[in-house]
Copies of this chain bind each other. A is one copy, B any other.
Amino acid sequence: MTAPHPFGLHRSLDPPGVLPQLARRLDATPRALENEIAISVRALSIDSASFRQLRETEQTSGEPVEDQIGRIVRERGKMQNPVTGSGGMLLGEVAAVGPRHPAAGRLLPGTPIATLVSLTLTPLFLESIGAVHRATERVEVRGTAILFARTLYAKLPADFSEEVALAAFDVAGAPAAVRRDAKPGQTILVIGAGKAGLLCLAAAREAVGRSGRVLAVEPGRAAADRARELGLADEVFTIDARDPVVMLAAIDAATSGALADLVVNVANASGTEAASVLCARDDGTVVFFGMATSFSAAALGAEGLAKPTRLSIGNGFVPGHDALALDLLRCHPALARAFADLAGRPGA
């Protein structure tokens, strides 16, 4: 094993030296090297696509889900479903922090944490597998995982349920980007009022202040009403963002033609790229967080509309995003209630 690499290249066995996510097999030796963290793993939260595939295999082959997980982790040194390619994340407590890890001295053994990156790049050694909770796609385990110097994790808070904390971490990049990029007095448009959208409304409200404006668009009547009741947005439009003409008319009227300085797209649906671009000022920015975003639809759409607007790919990692998301929930109790309600509904 060569010197431990911050991205974990030293743990890739097959092929050796590649990024761990691309490796077929990792070295899962359950001992933290000088810049690694060892985690006592308590549960795996399996990616939905992977969990569905494991259940299907159980039905066709008779091999129970827990046995499949044990076999995959033994063979690969990580829980990466070989069919779907996907992973999930894990929950546990810090067991050991290497003396040259960036958090050495600050992160104490026993701290409950969750990983914020995929199991597909996380070395994992399992001693035993316990209950499989099919409704929540969670599996109780005992084992050890390794985090590299650059592996993202978050401390689990004492004042929120695990479910709410994980849901907040999952979408934390979007409100953190809004808080970083929105300026006092600006007009911010949030497209989509799910978990990410609600957090973005709170972040936008805090960033633009009283002189700024926060607008929201959401096609579902109940979701739009929920967003309205929070009082974070100045206006919430019940509009389907897949219709660019209707969208432009609404935002043009609401802003007296000035349009939005920043458009944050957190819609689940595809086909909302043109509307996002149209509703932004020529010198504004659109940031796309929805995984249904089409790169070419966004790029060619802006060109076809002669909009020099800046287009961003939402980066799920903004330093401090996990703490910011929890703080937004703490400062806005009505938001926290609505968020917890959504976090309890799979797919919401």
Residues of A within 8 A of B (CB): 7, 9, 17-19, 21, 116-118, 121, 150-152, 173, 244-245, 274, 278, 288-289, 291, 293-296, 298-300, 302-319
A sample of 22 cross-chain residue pairs with beta-carbon separation below 8 angstroms, ordered by A number, consists of A19-B274, A19-B305, A117-B303, A118-B304, A121-B304, A150-B305, A150-B306, A173-B303, A288-B295, A289-B299, A291-B295, A295-B298, A295-B313, A299-B313, A299-B316, A302-B315, A302-B317, A303-B316, A308-B317, A308-B318, A311-B314, A313-B313
Copies in the complex: 2
CA distance A187 to B210 in the complex (A): 39
Q: Are B304 and A315 in contact (CB under 8 A)?
A: no
A121's nearest neighbour on chain B, judged by CB, is B304
A320 to chain B, nearest CB (A): 10
The complex places the Cα of A311 from the Cα of B278 at a distance, in Å, of 20
What residues of chain B lie closer than 8 Å to A311, measured between beta carbons?
Answer: 312-315
Instruction: Give Cα A303–Cα B313 distance, bound, in whole angstroms.
Output: 12
Residues of chain B with a CB closer than 8 A to A245's CB: 9, 17-19
In the complex with contacts A17-B245, A18-B245, A117-B306 CB distance below 8 A: yes
Nearest chain B CB to A278's CB is how many angstroms away?
8
Bound-state Cα–Cα, A117 to B299, Å? 12
The CA-CA distance from A302 to B316 in the complex, in Å, is 8
What's the Cα separation between A152 and B301 when bound, in Å?
12
Q: Which of A7, A288, A308, A313 neighbours the largest number of chain B CB atoms within 10 Å of its CB?
A: A313
Q: Which of B19, B303, B313 contacts A298 (CB 8 A)?
A: B313
Question: Which chain B residues border A305 with CB–CB below 8 Å?
Answer: 7, 19, 150
Kindly list chain B residues whose C-beta atoms are within 8 Å of the C-beta of A307.
315, 317
* Most B CB within 10 A of own CB, among A18, A303, A318: A303
Partner of A303, one of B152, B299, B304, B309: B152
4 more A-B residue pairs beyond the given contacts A295-B298, A302-B316, with a C-beta to C-beta distance below 8 A? A17-B245, A19-B245, A308-B318, A311-B314
| Shortest CB distance A225–B (Å) | 28
**How many Å lie between the Cα of A300 and that of B311 in the bound state?**
17
* Bound Cα distance from A116 to B307, whole angstroms: 13
Chain B residue at minimum C-beta to C-beta distance from A289: B299
Residue of B121, B274, B309 near A315 (CB, 8 A) is B309
> B306 touching A317 by the CB < 8 A rule?
yes
Residues of B within 8 A of A151 (CB): 306
User: Do B306 and A152 have beta carbons less than 8 Å apart?
Assistant: yes
Chain B contacts for A150, CB-based, 8 A:
305-306
Query: A309 — which chain B residues lie within 8 A by C-beta?
Result: 315
Contact between B313 and A312, CB atoms less than 8 A apart:
yes
Would B304 and A308 count as touching, CB distance under 8 A? no
**Do the beta carbons of B17 and A304 come within 8 Å of each other?**
no
**4 nearest CB pairs, A to B:** A303-B316, A311-B313, A150-B306, A295-B295
Compute how far the CA of A310 lies from the CA of B314 in the bound complex, rounded to whole angstroms.
8
